[in-house]
Amino acid sequence: MNSIVYLSPREDIPANHHVAVVIHKDERGVEKGYFYDSKEKNFGGSGPFDWLMKEVLDRATRYATEQGISTVVVRAKRD
């Protein structure tokens, strides 16, 4: 079972190994996002090709389970 942690915009990103979910709004105001393993490089997503918020959370949680990572951290995109 994974724990999902939602960070406020001012909270620091945790140092422990986690799956990071980065959420942003597209040009139409739709919440989209991408995820990455915190031990890997953050490539910044693919803009219009990012997943809808529910789908990215589902995929990130599935990835975390498959990789044995216990925490999924959700945060807003920071410029």
Q: Print burial letters for 17-37: b (CB count within 10 Å at least 16), e (below 16).
A: ebbbbbbbeeeeeeebbbbbb
d(CA 28, CA 60): 24
Q: Residue 47 above 70 pLDDT?
A: no
Domain range list for the chain: 3-76
Taking the CB of residue 45, how many other CB atoms lie within 10 A of it? 19
pTM of the model: 0.85
Q: Residue 48 above 70 pLDDT?
A: no
pLDDT in the model for residue 78? 74
